Every structure is written in C-alpha cells, then in structure tokens.
Amino acid sequence: MIKHAAFVRNLHVERISVKAYRVSDSHRVVSFWGPIPDTTSLVARRVANSKNVTKQVLQGAGLNVPNGSVFDQDQEDRAWTFVTEIGGPVVVKPTHGSGGRGVTSNIQDRDHFSLAWKVARSAKRKPVIVEQHISGNDFRLFVIGDHLRAAIQRVPAYVEGDGQTSIAGLVEKKNQARKAIPYVGAKPIKFTPAILHNLEARGLSTDSVLTSGERLYLHLVANIGGGGESIDVTGTVHPDFADIAVRARKALPSAIHCGVDLLAEDITRSPGEQRWAICEVNSVPDIAMHHFPISGTPRDVAGELIEHLFPGNRLMEERLWRKVRVEVVGQVTNVGFRQWFRRTARLRGLTGWVRNVAEDKLEAVICGPPGR
C-alpha cells in the first residue's frame, strides 16, 4: 500500500531487500522496513509493543485506560483474586501481541477465566494483563501528525441464520464471501476454543441452526484477523474523540502516526457523555483495513502518510501522464509473464494493457506519472 502510494505520487522507490526500501524525491529520503518509516523510533515501537507500558504512558497524558494489573503466567490464582477484588467482567490478554491474538473479553466466571488464561499463555512466556472490561463498541482511529485521518468500527465475527443452514455452514458461506475482499480474504473465521466456549454458553454447537434473520456473534473480541468486520466511520467521529486520538499519538515517543484502539458506546457523541477508554496504541498500525472496509468509504491513509512525509507530492492529474508502448521478445508464453507484468505495473500505479502478438513476442501500452 505504501509503495503504491509513493509510485502514484511520482516518487522514487528503491528496493533494498524483501522488507527494506527507500522512498525519495529530490529533497528527502525516507527509509522503510515494511510499513515502518524511519520517523518511528525504536522507543515508540518498544512502548507500543508493551500494552502495560502503553497504559502507563497514556495515564501520564491524562487519558482514560482500563483499570488492571500484570501477572506472570504461573500466577493464575493470584490474578483471579485480583478479579474478585475489582469486580468483573474483565479482559485477559498478553502484554505483548498484535492483531487481537490471545485476547479474551467479557469474562465473568472462573471457568471462562481459566480458558482465557490458557489462550493468553500461548504468547510464549510473556506476562498476562487482567483489566476491567469496558462495554461498548470497538474503534480504530488512525492519526498522522496532529490530525485524525480515518476511523473504523470493528465488529466481532458473526453469522445470520436462514432457518436451514447450520452455524458451520453459515461460517463457510461467510468465509467464501470474504475471499472476494483483498484485506480479509486470507482472514477466515475459525472455530477457536473461545468461539466454541461462547457457543456452548448459549446452548449451541456448530451443527445448530439459527432462525431466519437471527444474528449470532461468534466472538466477543472485534478482531478482523479472527473473522470480524470493519465499518468506516471517519465522517462521524466527534471532534473531542479526534482530539483524544491525537493526544494518544503525542504520548507515544517519536511516532508521526499511530492507530488508537478505543472502546466507547457512541463515537459520534461527546466523550463526556459516556464511559470510554483507550485499550491500545499501535506504532505500526494496520493500513489496509482503512483501504478495504467491509462497508463504508475506503480511505487512502497510505497516500496521506506519504503526503505527510513528502508535502510537495500529490496525485498527478491524468492529463499529465505519459504513455509508452513497449515490445518484449523472448520466452513470453506459458510462463506467467503477462500476469507478472500486470501485477508489477499495478504496484507502480500504472494502467494500460498487455497482450501476446506472437509465440515469442508481447506488446503493451503503459500509462502513468512520467517518473515511473
């Protein structure tokens, strides 16, 4: 996404390795490792990677975070005692992790807590956080500099009954539909221990049939990677929540952009009218979710990041594009050459066409910014 955004703004992209590359114009060079620009400090990465440290940093900035504590993996009994002291429901998650892995929310009894503890322990010797569950909706706010650029509401994985198909069948249908969407195509719904526990708690199994129109939330955590869905809500965010997101970005040392995970009842209403809390800040936020929401308006946040780093470069008008005709002679049939040609051109923001004209000859017309 970032390379494409740079190409279509007529910037130079130099590949160093599979993950390392440079983006430059005549005045500046910015190095990237995957989605991470060199403007993000190691301190920011370390702080954001530790959920407990992130909470302390946010508290220091006067922002709301859930009440909680950290425990070693062999302290499950002590952690449960803490739960009885603060009152449930609670959330259990590893101190280090991403993509919602190892997170279990809305825990209200010991059996569910023990299952959640086991899931969190899969994070390989990392301590476990136990904190109060904040009821409400799950939002990801994407900040660059001093401005909120995009906002997504994340909805937990769910299926809707048709009165005939089993839950397992509904999940299979939904996974097939997700394959058509670039961002979630490789993120199917899976029957994890947490989902099976939720079904059992409702007296259901994967073979159960829901009534027509009945919606069943399979998971309590709004994790896109676990089958959740995303709804763009950028245009409806209350200004005070936008300000809170910017303050969270400023609390993270030397990070020009970040993703703020916020729990609130209604993102359109003032924070002062409801209970809310920031549960996480990401120094390497997922960009693709904003480009490919399940519903709502796609947001070109990769382009906004590039334009923030290179203020003089904007999308070039098509009337200024250059058109080039090329011929390729050699082994160009039965080797996937045209497919490779199309992928490479699209990555660079180019358009046009390509076709075989002979057994050993291919021709193409390529259009795009002149620097490409």
Using alpha carbons only, give the angle 211, 212, 215 rounded to the nearest 5 degrees. 75
- 318-368 adopts what CATH topology? Alpha-Beta Plaits (3.30.70)
> Tell me, what's the pLDDT at 38?
94
Cα–Cα distance for residue pair 164/179, rounded to 1 Å: 23
Other residues' Cβ atoms within 10 Å of the Cβ of residue 272: 8
Cα–Cα distance for residue pair 204/372, rounded to 1 Å: 56
Cis peptide before 89 (omega within 30 of 0): yes
Sequence ranges of the domains in the chain: 157-219, 318-368
- The tens-digit pLDDT sequence of the chain (372 residues) is 999 999 989 899 999 999 999 999 989 999 999 999 999 999 999 999 888 899 999 999 999 999 889 899 889 999 999 999 988 799 998 887 666 677 888 888 898 899 889 888 876 668 898 998 888 899 999 999 999 999 999 998 999 999 999 999 999 999 998 888 878 888 889 998 888 988 998 899 999 999 999 999 998 777 787 788 899 999 999 999 999 999 999 999 889 999 999 999 999 999 999 999 998 999 999 899 999 998 999 999 999 999 999 998 888 788 888 899 999 998 888 888 888 999 889 888 889 999 988 888 999 999 988 766
Q: What is the pTM of this model?
A: 0.83
> Tell me, what's the pLDDT at 56?
92
Ordered DSSP codes for 76-109: HHHHHHHHHHH-S-EEEEESS--TTTT-EEEE-S
Cα Rg for the chain, rounded, in angstroms? 24
**Backbone φ/ψ region at 281: left (φ over 0), alpha (ψ -120 to 50), beta:** beta
Instruction: Give, as one character, the DSSP assignment of residue 273.
Output: G
> Tell me, what's the pLDDT at 142?
98
Cα–Cα distance for residue pair 261/153, rounded to 1 Å: 10
> Tell me, what's the pLDDT at 125?
65
> Tell me, what's the pLDDT at 140?
96
> Tell me, what's the pLDDT at 226?
78
